[in-house]
A and B are shown apart, each in its own frame.
Chain A
Amino acid sequence: MSSLTASQTRLDRRPRRSRPAIASHLFLLLLMAAFLAPVVWTLVSAFKPANDIISNPLGFNPSAFTFENYRQMFADVPIGSGFLNTAVVLVFKGTITLLFAPLAGYAFAKYDFRFKSLLFGTVMVTLTLPIIVLIIPMLLEMKELGWINTYQALILPGSIDAFAIFWMRQVISSVPDELLDAARVDGCGEFGIYWRVVLPVIRPGIAGLAVLTVMNVYNDFVWPVVATTATNRQTLQVVLSTLAQNITGNKIGADYAHVTGELLAASSIALVPLLIIFIVLQKHFISGLLAGSVKG
């Protein structure tokens, strides 16, 4: 702003604009503070002595900086295997989703076939299903298959869910039909059209699906809780949730500060990977999310 000359400033009619601009920034800054505060508080408090976290939750004394909460947490919580299991599920489930959901979305968006509307209607209805609805029969199915505490139980169910199909159909619908017909005229096969014409165009939409998949898998909780009883197959979120049970359960009292410290250390360590991925990829991330949503 300071580089503008006086005449330019006048042409800009700056005085009329400045008050709303200040109000805008004030609103956005307040919102940002509210959004960031819990994350910042968690990351900072994890390095405080456990007793300080509860006796002085707002302050931070740099000289009391400590790794004690982390040391305790690593001793008590199998967080390493939690990360490993989450990573395994992420790679396989992510691959299945990204390979097959766009393909099915393409069929729904650009072809006419028998039972198409019935099938797509079923997909839309399952969007309204609470995941808990399917838990009992899925659990019985897993027992039947002998899949309890296995990776395939964590990977296959929901690897292409209704939302992914809906999302990809949404994205592919915006690809003009002329583009596909032109490729057909050039003698391109049906899969070739998908692979060479459609896929390159919908890359932002695929990125959006990738983002949502990574987040869903990383954060998934309900299904992993019931599908894994052995700690060596539990994902990060399941491992984490047992800590909360210590707090709300019987450890209240003398151990409260101690468990709180561990919990904040564990939460910080769970927060950081996605934050890093997000900050590195934030441009693609947001444009990917923008690509799939419904336009006015």
Chain B
Amino acid sequence: MTVTTTTPVSRTAPHASQRGPRWSLVRRKAAPYVFILPFLAIFAAFTIYPLVFTFRLSFTSWHGEGAARWIGWDNYTYLLSNPDFWASLATSGILWLLIVPVQVGVGLIAAVLLNSAKLKARGFYRTAFIVPFVTPLVAIAQVWIVVFDQNYGAVNSFLHLFGLPDIGWLTTTTWSKPTLALLFLWKTTGFAIIILLSGLQSIDTSLYEAASLDGASRIRQLWSITVPLIRRTIMFLVVLQTLAVFQMFAEPYVVTKGGPYGSTTTAGLYLYNHISVADLGTGAANSFLLVVILMTLSLFFVRLLRARD
């Protein structure tokens, strides 16, 4: 945006500042600084300062008491050579695979159906879909413990109705990740549907009419018109959910405590575990490794989008 003086106009304007155009230009230059000041103060005190502190901490060995000992890159080399660190990333990676493609797929189908003007009861469905999104995570995570209990849980009782055997949802390494993924999917897919819906609403419907006349099937239309046109929205969702999945902490913390056998120790929970045993230097280094990984992943998705443009 270019700053232009409005001298001739503001002189004739009835409400113009009495101190003249020069003064209004000064105010206009100063305005953005004033506007961001409250945000900047809070951001500096509770985000930037802690961040710098953490960065320094990542090069030290410190257990919360006494002086921190400078150890250079030791925390980083320790983590990078530690199989548990890689296992936590792998766990988050597997959860990502179980969550993001499913969410985008199911969310897209639901959003397309909800976007159709012909569908009855659209508002009703929309309302129902957003319900999980407004439930408190801790409350629902606790319900997960109860519902997926191997011996007393409602899910296994339901399976019994069909003669299916008990499944150790939260007690076996095979099922613990899918069960956790299910919690995440349940909680956030409604939000994904809303985001995708907002992308769909910006598409010109005449494109579909033309495609229908050309005899393109609904599935063909979805793949050839809808997906390319809202790929920005889809990418936005993918980036947002990638960040959320790799930062996932409260879910495994409440539901599985990272078990069984570390199978649900996500990158976020692994990081927390250093902190909970006051190994603060390692925790800080772990944070920065995670930030680098997440930024790389985000940039990768953005590049992917640019490449298609």
Contacts and interface: CB of A to CB of B under 8 A. Distances in A.
B180 interface: no
B224 interface: no
Given A54-B152, A263-B142, A111 B31 contact: yes
Interface string B196-215: 01111111000000000000
Contact of A128 (B40, B145, B298): B298
Contact of A188 (B15, B36, B138, B218): B15
A207 to B, nearest CB: 13
Contact of B141 (A58, A244, A264): A244
B66 interface: no
A111 B50 contact: no
- Measured as residues with beta carbon below 8 angstroms from the partner, the interface class of chain A is 35 or more
Contacts of B152: 53-55, 57, 256-257, 260
Contacts of B118: 17, 21
A117 B1 CA distance: 14
Contact of B295 (A53, A128, A274): A128
Contacts of B254: 241, 244
Interface stretch (B70-78, B79-87, B94-102, B108-116): B108-116
A35 B271 contact: no
B91 to A, nearest CB: 15
Contacts of A100: 38-39, 42
B113 A24 contact: yes
Contact of B140 (A28, A38, A295): A38
B34 to A, nearest CB: 8
Interface string A181-220: 0001111111100100000000000000000000100110
A171 to B, nearest CB: 12
* A contact patch SS: helix
Nearest to A57: B154
B119 interface: yes
B236 interface: yes
A263 B36 contact: no
B22 interface: no
Given A295-B198, A296-B203, A296-B231, A104 B39 contact: yes
A228 interface: no
Given A127-B243, A285-B130, A136 B186 contact: no
Contacts of B142: 240-241, 243-244, 247, 263, 267
A254 interface: no
A177 B1 contact: yes
Given A35-B131, A185-B6, A130 B287 contact: yes
Residue of B31, B149, B290, B298 ringed by the most chain A CB atoms within 10 A: B31
Contacts of B53: 136-137, 140
Contact of A136 (B133, B161, B230, B284): B284
Contacts of A237: 136-139
- Measured as residues with beta carbon below 8 angstroms from the partner, the interface class of chain B is 35 or more
B179 interface: no
B216 interface: no
Residue of A25, A28, A189, A274 ringed by the most chain B CB atoms within 10 A: A28
Interface stretch (A3-11, A67-75, A152-160): A152-160
A52 to B, nearest CB: 11
A63 interface: no
Nearest to B246: A130
Contacts of B272: 132
Contacts of B158: 58
Nearest to B247: A130
Residue of B50, B51, B57, B146 ringed by the most chain A CB atoms within 10 A: B146
Contacts of A129: 47, 51, 287, 291
A140 B49 CA distance: 12
Contacts of A56: 157
16 contacts: A35-B190, A42-B140, A111-B31, A125-B291, A127-B243, A130-B267, A132-B272, A134-B51, A157-B42, A160-B42, A185-B6, A221-B137, A267-B140, A278-B131, A290-B197, A293-B198
Given A41-B154, A130-B246, A136-B284, 11 more contacts: A58-B154, A106-B35, A108-B36, A129-B291, A133-B291, A184-B6, A185-B10, A244-B141, A257-B152, A271-B140, A290-B194
Interface of A: 17, 20-21, 24-25, 27-28, 31-32, 34-36, 38-39, 41-42, 53-58, 96, 99-101, 103-104, 106-108, 110-113, 116, 119, 122-123, 125-138, 140-141, 156-162, 165, 177, 184-191, 194, 215, 218-219, 221-222, 236-237, 240-241, 243-244, 247-248, 256-257, 260, 263-264, 266-267, 270-271, 274-275, 277-279, 282, 285-286, 289-291, 293-296
Nearest 8 interchain pairs by C-beta? A187-B15, A54-B152, A137-B50, A296-B230, A104-B39, A111-B32, A190-B31, A133-B287
